[in-house]
Amino acid sequence: MSPQHALDILIPTRNRDAALAVTLTALSAQDFRDFRIIVSDQSDMPGTFANPEIRAVLRYLAARGLRVLTLSHLPRLGMAEQRAFLLSHARAPACLFLDDDVILETDLVGRLHRALQLQRCGFVGSALHGLSYVGDHRPEQQYIEFWDAEVAPERLDPSSPGWSRHHLHSAANLYHVQSRLALEGAATRPYKVAWVGGCVMFDTQKLRAAGGFDFWRDLPAAHCGEDVLAQLRVMEQFGGCGIVPSGAYHMELPTTISERQVDAPKVLHR
């Protein structure tokens, strides 16, 4: 059966009812509307989808004609398994993995989708701005390398020279770069990345062809970096990029993943 929408937005969440409500509200205001939202909750206490604020936003999304699938997914077996679970529910040609603490500008989902279609690569991401760092200028971390031709496959690992690209996504570095370049949404440009955290749109078929998040079985439940590993594998086969201007803003909440000793790309990437 062919999907009735172009995009599935996949949101893993845990113990962040207020932040999730803000993220969902930002999705309701998107110019691009041909999507379905799938939320998978692994909160310690039941009731996320019974929370009055969440219920109000879900009613508002429905009134706006947007489809939402809410799922409770326990027990917790790690973030890679949570993402694999979400991906198993994706039916659209493209899927956007979106963290539950991200605010999106109204044109961002559409710009990501257009960039993915134009580049025909495996993923396109919008790095998150941390606006509490807007006064913290780090010029030594603000080098950006644009894709002047079509995005092409690359192989990266933690020992690669290109790994240092991740510094561009720290603090408010990318925000300072796009402000300095005076880029506006219509002038979206792809650039080279090591990985992108928090807001990444994949070609669903290409993500699955690269193995998706099926490597969760090779990791202990306590791990981090599963999003990085999936992107590295997609990038090696199909290419991937970030876009600037970004249009995604981090709420800068404390991480819900406290045990970070096992870093997936360092133990599994080969």
- Long-range CB contact pairs, 50-53, < 8 A, 24+: 51/17, 51/21, 53/17, 53/18, 53/21
In a domain, 155, yes or no: yes
Domain annotation covers residue 140: yes
Structure confidence at residue 1 (pLDDT): 43
Total of domains in the chain: 1
Give the pLDDT of residue 255: 82
Tokens 């080279």 -> residue = 192
In a domain, 2, yes or no: no
What is the residue-level pLDDT of the chain in tens, covering all 270 positions?
Answer: 456 899 999 999 999 999 999 999 999 999 999 999 999 999 998 889 999 999 999 999 999 999 999 999 999 999 999 999 999 999 999 999 999 999 999 999 999 999 999 999 999 999 999 999 999 999 999 999 999 989 999 999 888 889 999 999 999 999 999 999 887 656 899 999 999 999 999 999 999 999 999 999 999 999 999 999 999 999 999 999 999 999 999 999 988 776 778 889 888 866
Contacts for 263 with CB less than 8 Å, ≥ 6 apart: 223, 224, 225
Does 209 map to a domain? yes
Query: What pLDDT shows up at residue 186?
Result: 60
Degrees to nearest 5, angle at CA 190 with 208 and 232: 35
Q: What is the pLDDT of residue 87?
A: 98
Residue 21, in any domain of the structure: yes
CATH code where residue 72 lies: 3.90.550.10
1 part of a folded domain: no
Q: What contacts 88, CB < 8 A, 6 or more positions away?
A: none
In a domain, 66, yes or no: yes
Residue 232 β-bridge partners: none
Look up the pTM and report it: 0.95
pLDDT of residue 139: 94
For residue 194, what are the domain limits?
7-268
